[in-house]
Structure 1
Amino acid sequence: MEEPQSVEPGRRPCLLLVDDEESILNSLRRLLRGQPYDVVLADSGARALEILAQRPVDLVMSDARMPNMDGATLLARVREGYPGTRRILLTGYADVSTIINAVNQGQIHQYLSKPWNDEELLLILRQGLEQQQAERELKRLQQLVLEQNRQLKASNAGLEQRVASRTAELQQTADMLDLAYEELKHSYVTATEVFSLLANLRLPPDKQTNRKIIELVRAYCKAHGLDESASRDLAMAAALYNIGKLSWSDAMLVAPADLLRHTERERYRAYPEQSESVLMALEPMQDAARLILHHQERWDGSGFPRHLKGEAIPWGSRLLKLAVDFIELQCGLILERHMNSDEALLFIRKYAGRLYDPELVESFVRVCAAYLSDVTVDDPSVRVVGTRELQAGMVLRRNLNADNGMLLLNAGKVLSEPLVHKLIAFEAMEGAHYSVFVSVPEQVAALDVDR
């Protein structure tokens, strides 16, 4: 069955809500009361298909778990018979196989968990219908351009004024197409973020990096006034930079990169290319895919996959590497030890000019200090010292952990001479080197000056 390409002018969008639980349907109906939509309810997949055969429906939101016909199967049937209808999966189960089936078979546009957030649900419905309208308008305009081109070819070539007038109309239409295309690009950003959340279901919560990297990249773009196109490409690259890792085993996904064996290391070094190859078929994603391809290049040329060096590395890839490493260092995905945010920034500063663009490093650190409440690395009241520089009276500003993650001292601890000696001895016994974040009371600072 083919869905009509146009919609009657003035018709309110029609939403079809499908769930075998009457209480869920009643809750959704109450939430949507007063919204500018016609709402139709169905308690099964079969009933939903009957409704679709009887009237035009713009969006179907279905529960994942239903008897006889589950949500993934229903949405696949909707896609086959009514490809222009938006499809949203609603589930209370973290069932990866159901979600994968819905993505592969029904090609769902969105995914929501029960219990839902009312504002988020309303926003997703509104954005989905707006994107659908933009797609329909794009198709209408494409048909209009084709028809106008046909008429233009049939026109009398000698009527110069008529040709000039029609050319102006075509230019206006092209401008409208550009606007519609920009709207579709915005929709791609939302889609990539939704997909990154689905991909993160394979990871434990403390290893889920994408959302933090997206927010960090957006903070940098906002602080430096990057244009909308560059910001959009960076956000999409941050959302999907690790999509090439989805074929890895669960153990490899959570292992620190520096502990991978030889064969695993080869797979690790291939993931940027795999991520890029997945995305290159999507035209609006091509610029973001290029940033992903080169985000593991290093300033000194020792990175991968192309061994690019210095400014030959795309600027957005250099920024993405800073954001990825900053977050992954804290999640234990690069080194075995989990760093705090200040330690991660010290690591990045240490390798400026080797791993990272030295000019970009300092602007990145400033953004982290401004936007992240737990960063103290640029606080003039905080010093970072080794254990042999510690003095009695200094106050710890960050928790001090051993390399194996064991907590040694809590933030706020006032150091004494015996405690300093114990720290020095413990550090020597462990063969470690601790960076200690402290604040220095005035009397201790005065002693430094006297010396």
Structure 2
Amino acid sequence: MEAPQPSTLAPRPSLLLVDDEESILNSLRRLLRGQPYEVLLADSGARALEILAERPVDLVMSDARMPVMDGATLLARVRELSPGTRRILLTGYADLDTIINAVNDGQIHQYLSKPWNDEELLLVLRQTLEHQHAERELKRLQQLVLEQNRQLKTSNAGLEQRVVSRTAELQQTADMLDLAYEELKHSYVTATEVFSLLANLRLPADKQTNRKIIELVRACCTSQGLDEASSRDLTMAAALYNIGKLSWSDTMLGAPSDLLRHTDQARYRAYPEQSESVLMALEPMQDAARLILHHQERWDGSGFPQHLKGEAIPWGSRLLKLAVDFIELQCGLILERRMNSDEALLFIRKYAGRLYDPNLVEDFVRVCAAYLNDVTVDDPTVRVLGTRELAAGMVLRRNLNADNGMLLLNAGKVLSEPLVQKLIAFEAMEGGRYSIFVSMPEA
């Protein structure tokens, strides 16, 4: 077996071999020649104790049968004088009592029989010393840890107070930053609304939609109990949803989307993506930009730009579409005929499940009824009838306009039979179909 090479940094382990027979000692010395050990010899127990008193010894290996002082007695004395020294008993006799005494009194670490096997003896010595080295290293590290802990406790005593003071300073700074960040987010929303108003100046006053959509979206956010971040993103999306239209001509800006020619239709369908691309470079606008990108998707998947369907459309985009269409229907930006608010809500109800999220429509109608003064669609005293359902005595509750926008009758007009017949004839001539908001005559 190849012996381990001695370390150039650590001293060689010292071995004390004890036997009253010189031939045995010489055999052991020859066996250990070339091994990384310092070998000491003693021909008696007394001489072994003298050597141990003069210098430290890492391991004592003693013969069991020696005159005056046997191996068990010697190893018991070694344990008393140098507890860290490893102890091995070398016996040529099957003397159980001697081994028991050595184990009990000397607490030997190993015993070997004579004649020994060289390889086995070298292995036992190496393993015993390695175990001793590991124990010493463990004790050294434990002492080092204890000392470091002591130093840490001393340092921590001073650090704790500094940490408390520093923590208070950091908390104060964090509170100031939170306040500044909240103010910054509020300022960002305000800035988007101001910018949307400036962008709206390109449109005629009766087609400027952004302010109305912002207010309606805010009312919806309050009704839905949305958190501040979601409300902020929806408000910014409402303010800038049509920023991608600014490159259009004035004619196209004011035209109903249903009447756009083929080439203009392609530009119209591209405006959500153009709006998103303008805003994506602004980090606080990225979530709002995503809502804008998808606000022209339809519940049945026929929308644009990505033909998303149902729940795949972001929730905020579905709500934004309701608000945008409700306002744009009244401004003549979707259909040629401008609708009043009640007609726009009836249109939205009609297309729930096709264009709009059916789970949002009724809540949206209730918000409009609560926040807008001119909505009567949920008024139980108001009915929506076709011209052939009208009767004399009914009172017109909303202005009635022809498809070309011409005012036919004012709200408050009491219908007569001749007037009803004229409306039927005019409707047939136009080829349209009127929705007429009336209340029943008082009994």
What is the CA–CA distance in structure 1 between the aligned matches of 2:325 and 2:334, rounded to whole Å? 8
Name the counterpart of 1:59.
none
Amino acid at match of 2:426: F
Shift of 1:227: 1.9
Structure 2 counterpart SS, 1:221: helix
Name the counterpart of 2:328.
328
Shift of 1:180: 2.1
What is the CA–CA distance in structure 1 between the aligned matches of 2:283 and 2:300, rounded to whole Å? 31
Residues 17-166 of structure 1 aligned to structure 2 (within 5 Å): 161=159
Which 10-residue stretch deviates more, 372-381 or 176-185? 176-185
Shift of 1:225: 2.6
Amino acid at match of 1:417: E
Name the counterpart of 2:266.
266
Residues 245-264 of structure 1 aligned to structure 2 (within 5 Å): 245-264=245-264
Name the counterpart of 2:441.
441
Name the counterpart of 2:221.
221
Structure 2 counterpart SS, 1:202: coil
Name the counterpart of 1:180.
180
What is the CA–CA distance in structure 2 between the aligned matches of 1:287 and 1:225, rounded to whole Å? 19
Larger Rg: 2
Amino acid at match of 2:239: A
Residue 310 of structure 2 corresponds to residue 279 of structure 1: no
What is the CA–CA distance in structure 1 between the aligned matches of 2:412 and 2:342, rounded to whole Å? 16
What is the CA–CA distance in structure 1 between the aligned matches of 2:176 and 2:283, rounded to whole Å? 19
Shift of 1:164: 5.8
What is the CA–CA distance in structure 2 between the aligned matches of 1:244 and 1:310, rounded to whole Å? 25
Q: Would the alpha carbon gap of residues 432 and 159 (structure 1) be closer, same or farther in structure 2, given more than 3 Å must change?
A: farther
What is the CA–CA distance in structure 1 between the aligned matches of 2:283 and 2:178, rounded to whole Å? 14
What is the CA–CA distance in structure 1 between the aligned matches of 2:182 and 2:312, rounded to whole Å? 29
Residues 13-42 of structure 1: CA distance to partner in whole angstroms, max 9, x if unpaired? Answer: xxxxxxxxxxxxxxxxxxxxxxxxxxxxxx
Residues 159-207 of structure 1: CA distance to partner in whole angstroms, max 9, x if unpaired? Answer: 5646965577556644543332222111001101111111111111011
What is the CA–CA distance in structure 2 between the aligned matches of 1:201 and 1:282, rounded to whole Å? 23
What is the CA–CA distance in structure 1 between the aligned matches of 2:311 and 2:197, rounded to whole Å? 32
Residues 80-127 of structure 1: CA distance to partner in whole angstroms, max 9, x if unpaired? Answer: xxxxxxxxxxxxxxxxxxxxxxxxxxxxxxxxxxxxxxxxxxxxxxxx
Shift of 1:223: 2.7
What is the CA–CA distance in structure 2 between the aligned matches of 1:249 and 1:328, rounded to whole Å? 18
Structure 2 counterpart SS, 1:378: coil
Residue 302 of structure 2 corresponds to residue 302 of structure 1: yes
Give the length in aligned residue pairs. 287
Residue 242 of structure 2 corresponds to residue 242 of structure 1: yes
Name the counterpart of 2:24.
none
Amino acid at match of 1:366: R
Name the counterpart of 1:383.
383
Q: Would the alpha carbon gap of residues 301 and 175 (structure 1) be closer, same or farther in structure 2, given more than 3 Å must change?
A: farther
Residues 399-447 of structure 1: CA distance to partner in whole angstroms, max 9, x if unpaired? Answer: 111111122222111112222122112212221111010001244xxxx
Name the counterpart of 2:189.
189
Name the counterpart of 2:119.
none
What is the CA–CA distance in structure 2 between the aligned matches of 1:424 and 1:221, rounded to whole Å? 42
Name the counterpart of 1:316.
316
What is the CA–CA distance in structure 2 between the aligned matches of 1:337 and 1:207, rounded to whole Å? 13
Residue 345 of structure 2 corresponds to residue 354 of structure 1: no
Q: Would the alpha carbon gap of residues 315 and 159 (structure 1) be closer, same or farther in structure 2, given more than 3 Å must change?
A: farther
Residues 363-374 of structure 1 aligned to structure 2 (within 5 Å): 363-374=363-374
Amino acid at match of 1:310: G
Shift of 1:363: 0.6
What is the CA–CA distance in structure 2 between the aligned matches of 1:228 and 1:267, rounded to whole Å? 34
Structure 2 counterpart SS, 1:308: coil
Name the counterpart of 1:420.
420
Aligned residues: percent identity? Answer: 87
What is the CA–CA distance in structure 1 between the aligned matches of 2:244 and 2:406, rounded to whole Å? 33
Amino acid at match of 1:255: A
What is the CA–CA distance in structure 2 between the aligned matches of 1:174 and 1:277, rounded to whole Å? 33
What is the CA–CA distance in structure 2 between the aligned matches of 1:259 and 1:235, rounded to whole Å? 29
What is the CA–CA distance in structure 2 between the aligned matches of 1:364 and 1:354, rounded to whole Å? 16
What are structure 2's unaligned runs of at least 5 residues? 1-151
Structure 2 counterpart SS, 1:206: helix
Q: Taking structure 2 as the reference length, what is the TM-score of the superposition? A: 0.62
What is the CA–CA distance in structure 1 between the aligned matches of 2:188 and 2:313, rounded to whole Å? 25
Which 10-residue stretch deviates more, 422-431 or 396-405? 422-431
Shift of 1:377: 0.6
CA RMSD of aligned residues (A): 1.9
Name the counterpart of 1:397.
397
Amino acid at match of 2:298: R
Amino acid at match of 1:425: A
Which 10-residue stretch deviates more, 215-224 or 165-174? 165-174
Structure 2 counterpart SS, 1:438: strand
Shift of 1:280: 1.1
The structure 1 segments of at least 4 consecutive aligned residues displaced by more than 3 Å after TM superposition are: 158-176
Name the counterpart of 1:430.
430
Name the counterpart of 2:409.
409
What is the CA–CA distance in structure 2 between the aligned matches of 1:197 and 1:348, rounded to whole Å? 26
Structure 1 counterpart SS, 2:201: helix
Shift of 1:341: 0.7
What is the CA–CA distance in structure 2 between the aligned matches of 1:159 and 1:418, rounded to whole Å? 101
